[in-house]
């Protein structure tokens, strides 16, 4: 199973590489404004936010639902071929892809944590980072048209669907048993935790959706920008491999620390958008602001709540969904109106995330 999970992560995050590194640039070259790009990329996260609430009303995260989500992923990726010339078509293609992504990854993450555990999780998940960086380095050499990026998107989605289906098929019975657990998740009671986690992803709206555009607008070449992306993923891989020792400690403190480090990271991008030395240094912080944060967050929620599958659904939906939706929208309008201050605003938002996580406390729930 570890091999199948590794292959799945490789192809899944290769898709993400195409999607967040190249698609914004493809849309910009196709004539879309910054605010339109923000709206388009906000659609998928919005769907991710809405869907978990259906799982509290009877929808089950079982193999049948998982197969439907895989279908949405694949056919939505194909629909991009016919959508690029129209704002509303591309918007609905993103929504379809968002439906698939919002179900598939939490389903697989739950399997990973239940089978391999939090300390070995990073050594499996790092294959996703390898896929991300490889597709970035390869595609930058061949991206001469939008069609090439879309070809990569469809092929990688197909391979992801195949391996995800194999994993889901082998764990169907176990996942049905997990669904029988009573929901013990309260977003309102634990609002400081969920606000902190969500604000972290809001701050990433500037980075995921506009980093490539931001740096190339400041005169950094596309090739160099891709090297910056890739370098960030390399240090992420190193962290994923060695993070097991960190995850034996206080997971909540790790979340507080990594959000604070992320605030510093965005502030450096604001101050030094053309300084390559500082830019590469800021990318080393990706090891903390993504790799360690993500692993600590899903591990903390996995141990905090009894309904483990729904906890992963809400993490994907509320933080990456709602946070990604707000982040994409705010970043689009900020970059269109006040482009210089994009990462200053992101720095402030990440700092607020750290504050909310610091304020969060719940008796007997400091997980180590």
Residue 126: per-residue pLDDT: 87
Structural domain includes residue 156: yes
Structural domain includes residue 291: yes
Cβ contacts of 254 within 8 Å, gap of 6 or more = 246, 247, 292, 293, 296
Q: In degrees rounded to 5, what are phi and psi of residue 214?
A: -60, -50
- pLDDT of 274 > 90? The answer is yes
Longest dimension (CA), the chain: 56
Structural domain includes residue 367: no
Structural domain includes residue 364: no
Q: At what angle do helices 118-142 and 293-304 cross, to 10 degrees?
A: 140
Structural domain includes residue 237: yes
Q: What b/e sequence results for 297-320 when a residue is b if at least 16 CB atoms lie within 10 Å of its CB, and e otherwise?
A: bbbbbbbbbebbbbbbbbbbbbbb
pLDDT tens readout for residues 215-224:
999 999 988 9
Mean pLDDT of the residues in the chain: 86
Residue 176: per-residue pLDDT: 46
What is the number of domains present in the chain?
1
Q: What CATH number is given to the structural domain containing 23?
A: 1.20.1250.20
Structural domain includes residue 368: no
- Flag the least confident range among 5-14, 138-147, 214-223: 138-147
- Structural domain that includes position 266: 2-359
Residue 366: per-residue pLDDT: 57
- pLDDT of 173 > 50? The answer is no
Structural domain includes residue 119: yes
User: Global pTM?
Assistant: 0.78
Average pLDDT, stretch 151-178?
80
pLDDT tens readout for residues 239-250:
988 888 888 888
Most confident segment among 38-47, 130-139, 340-349: 340-349
Average pLDDT, stretch 201-218?
90
Distance, in Å, from the CA atom of 121 to the CA atom of 2, rounded to the nearest integer, reads 10
pLDDT tens readout for residues 255-273:
999 999 999 999 999 999 9
- pLDDT of 144 > 70? The answer is no
Distance, in Å, from the CA atom of 244 to the CA atom of 247, rounded to the nearest integer, reads 5
Structure tokens at 266: 């965005």
Numbers of helices and strands, H then E, in the chain: 17, 0
Name the helix (H) or strand (E) containing 170.
helix 146-170
Structural domain includes residue 138: yes
Residue 266: per-residue pLDDT: 97
């Amino acid at each position: 199973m570890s091999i199948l999970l590794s292959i799945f992560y490789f192809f899944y995050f290769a898709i993400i590489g195409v999607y967040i590194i190249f698609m914004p640039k493809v849309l910009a070259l196709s004539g879309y404004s910054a605010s339109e790009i923000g709206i388009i990329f906000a659609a998928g996260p919005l769907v991710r936010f809405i869907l978990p609430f259906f799982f509290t009303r009877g929808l089950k995260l079982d193999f049948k639902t998982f197969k439907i989500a895989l279908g949405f992923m694949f056919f939505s990726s194909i629909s991009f071929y016919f959508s690029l010339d129209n704002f509303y078509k591309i918007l609905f293609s993103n929504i379809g892809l968002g439906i698939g992504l919002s179900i598939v990854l939490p389903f697989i993450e739950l399997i990973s944590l239940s089978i391999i555990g939090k300390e070995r999780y990073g050594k499996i998940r790092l294959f996703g980072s390898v896929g991300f960086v490889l597709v970035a380095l390869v595609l930058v050499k061949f991206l001469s048209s939008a069609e090439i990026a879309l070809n990569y998107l469809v092929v990688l989605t197909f391979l992801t669907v195949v391996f995800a289906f194999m994993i889901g098929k082998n764990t169907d019975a176990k996942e049905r048993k997990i669904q029988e657990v009573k929901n013990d998740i309260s977003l309102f009671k634990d609002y400081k935790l969920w606000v902190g986690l969500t604000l972290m992803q809001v701050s990433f709206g500037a980075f995921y959706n506009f980093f490539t555009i931001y740096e190339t607008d400041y005169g950094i070449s596309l090739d160099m920008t891709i090297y910056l992306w890739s370098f960030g993923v390399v240090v992420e891989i190193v962290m994923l491999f060695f993070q097991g020792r960190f995850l034996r400690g206080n997971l909540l403190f790790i979340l507080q620390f990594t959000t604070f480090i992320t605030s510093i990271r965005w502030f450096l991008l604001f101050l030094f958008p053309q300084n390559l030395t500082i830019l590469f240094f800021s990318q080393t912080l990706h090891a903390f602001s993504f790799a360690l944060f993500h692993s600590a967050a899903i591990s903390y929620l996995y141990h905090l709540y009894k309904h483990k599958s729904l906890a992963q659904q809400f993490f994907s939906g509320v933080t990456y969904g709602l946070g990604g939706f707000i982040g994409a929208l705010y970043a689009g309008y900020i970059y269109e109106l006040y482009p210089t201050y994009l990462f200053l605003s992101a720095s402030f938002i990440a700092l607020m995330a750290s504050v909310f996580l610091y304020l969060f406390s719940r008796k007997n729930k400091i997980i180590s």
